[in-house]
């Protein structure tokens, strides 16, 4: 099963979600169906459960083995085990093969229902209360008339299972920007993940940047509009207030592609370089960032290159 044959135009703040489910038993001992979703852009294909080869040792019990798909050995993660759901299903399980951060993994689920096309405005961030209970395994909530769908944070799951694949802060090194410089570069970081946002902020601050941050594109756009108004009122260049925007792509309310398009369509803000920093940066999706005017695109594990790439863009755009 191919995930989708619909091509979304970049920058429209739309996404497609593959809805899938786990059939199990709730704490009261009753049969229950949990609904989850994942961005179509992360799905390579959806298949029946193939023959599984067990592994002698795994980093977590949810890694139930591997299978061969067109000469590529792929690890299989049982989502029910990861989410601590007791499965009770009469159907045949389904495997969702995914790729993000240039790594291919597979997830075992009870079944797949359909693909939803909706706006990021319809995706609500999980409350801190819900996030704490779910160990931050979800990035968003979509409310349908008859059920609630939770957007799965696949990156967080993979990073927790295999910390070697997670973003890592580099050991302290000499800053690339002098902190005593009166022209310290100012950056805006936009990411809905608290841990990733803090890591990016810390990385840039360590290299001498002054950093502001927002949790989604909508909040970032509101901030940028205020900055533009200050710049226009003072008849001052935008670089007096901000030098660069570093944004995730997948975010509730407004995604990074839409934020980038708005920046590049604005006569004042278009001078700001924009870096898309996301797990969705790959050969197949790179053109989407280009179409909205992104100045650079960096996949999330490559955080060590971020400050220098930002500095190169700033110096080209705003030479001293």
Is position 176 within any domain? no
In sequence order, the 6+-apart residues with CB closer than 8 A to the CB of 121 are: 13, 253, 254
Nearest Cα to 150, choosing from 4, 15, 19?
A: 19
What's the whole-number mean pLDDT along residues 26-32? 87
For the residues 307-313, what does the mean pLDDT come to? 94
pLDDT band, very low/low/confident/very high, at 180 (cuts 50, 70, 90): very low
Residues 6+ apart with CB under 8 A from 94: 20, 46, 47, 48, 49, 108, 109, 110, 111, 112
**250 in the same domain as 192:** yes
8 assigned to some structural domain: no
Q: What is the DSSP string of 63-126?
A: EEEEEEETTEEEEEEEHHHHTT-EE--SS--EEEEEEETTEEEEEEESEEEEEEEEEGGGPBPP
Q: What is the pLDDT of residues 98-115, one digit of tens each?
A: 988 778 999 999 999 999
The residue that leads in pLDDT, 49 or 195, is 49
Query: Which tokens hold the place of 72?
Result: 């590529």
Same domain? 52 vs 19: yes
Task: Give the tens place of pLDDT for each residue, 231-280.
Answer: 999 999 999 999 999 999 998 889 999 999 999 999 999 999 999 998 88
The number of domains in the chain is 2
Query: Are 130 and 273 in a shared domain?
Result: no
Domain of residue 274, CATH code:
3.40.50.2300
Residue ranges with strand state E in the chain: 14-25, 31-39, 43-48, 63-69, 72-78, 86-87, 94-100, 103-109, 111-119, 138-143, 148-152, 186-190, 210-214, 244-247, 274-278, 296-299
Asked if 167 and 305 touch (Cβ cutoff 8 Å), the reply is no
Structural domain range at position 131: 14-165
For the stretch 145-179, pLDDT in tens is: 999 999 988 888 888 887 666 555 554 444 455 54
What share of the chain has pLDDT > 70, as a percent? 87
Q: Write down which residue in 165, 196, 231 finishes a domain.
A: 165
Q: Do 208 and 265 belong to one domain?
A: yes
pLDDT tens readout for residues 266-275? 999 999 999 9
**DSSP H or E segment with residue 313:** helix 306-317
C-alpha torsion sign, points 18, 24, 26, 31? positive
Distance CA 73, CA 161 (A): 18
Tell me: do 203 and 291 sit in the same domain: yes
Residues 191-219 have a mean pLDDT of: 91
Whether 252 and 287 map to the same domain: the answer is yes
- Answer yes or no: is 129 within a domain: yes
Nearest in space to 79 (alpha carbons), one of 21, 155, 18: 21
Per-residue pLDDT tens over the stretch 113-147? 999 999 999 998 877 656 555 555 788 899 999 99
CA pair distance 145, 238, nearest whole angstrom: 45
Greatest extent of the chain over all pairs of C-alpha atoms, in Å: 68
Residue 9 lies in a domain: no
């Amino acid at each position: 099963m191919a995930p989708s044959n619909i091509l979304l135009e970049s920058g429209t703040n739309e996404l497609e979600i593959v809805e899938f489910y786990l059939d199990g038993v709730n704490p009261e001992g009753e049969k229950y169906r949990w609904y989850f979703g994942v961005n179509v852009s992360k799905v390579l294909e959806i298949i029946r459960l193939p023959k599984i080869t067990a592994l002698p040792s795994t980093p977590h019990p949810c890694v139930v083995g591997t299978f061969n798909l067109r000469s590529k050995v792929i690890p299989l993660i049982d989502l029910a085990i990861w989410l601590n759901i007791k499965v009770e299903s009469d159907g045949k399980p389904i495997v969702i093969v995914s790729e993000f951060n240039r790594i291919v993994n597979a997830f075992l689920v009870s079944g797949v229902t359909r693909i939803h096309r909706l706006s990021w405005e319809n995706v609500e961030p999980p409350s801190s209360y819900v996030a704490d209970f779910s160990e931050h395994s979800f990035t968003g909530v979509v409310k349908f008339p008859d059920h609630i769908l939770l957007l799965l944070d696949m990156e967080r799951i993979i990073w927790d299972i295999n910390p070697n694949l997670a973003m890592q802060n580099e050991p302290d090194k000499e800053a690339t920007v002098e902190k005593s410089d009166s022209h310290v570069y100012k950056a805006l970081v936009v990411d809905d993940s608290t841990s990733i946002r803090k890591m990016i902020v810390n990385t840039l601050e360590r290299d001498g940047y002054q950093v502001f941050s927002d949790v989604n594109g909508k909040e970032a756009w509101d901030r940028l509009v205020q900055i533009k108004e200050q710049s226009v009122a003072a008849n001052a260049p935008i670089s007096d207030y901000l030098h660069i925007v570093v944004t995730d792509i997948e975010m509730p309310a407004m995604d990074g592609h839409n934020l980038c398009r708005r920046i590049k369509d604005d006569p004042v803000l278009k001078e700001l370089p924009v870096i898309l920093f996301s797990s969705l940066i790959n050969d197949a999706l790179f053109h989407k960032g280009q179409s909205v005017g992104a100045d650079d695109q960096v996949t999330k594990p490559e955080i060590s290159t971020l400050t220098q790439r930002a500095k190169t863009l700033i110096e080209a755009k705003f030479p001293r």
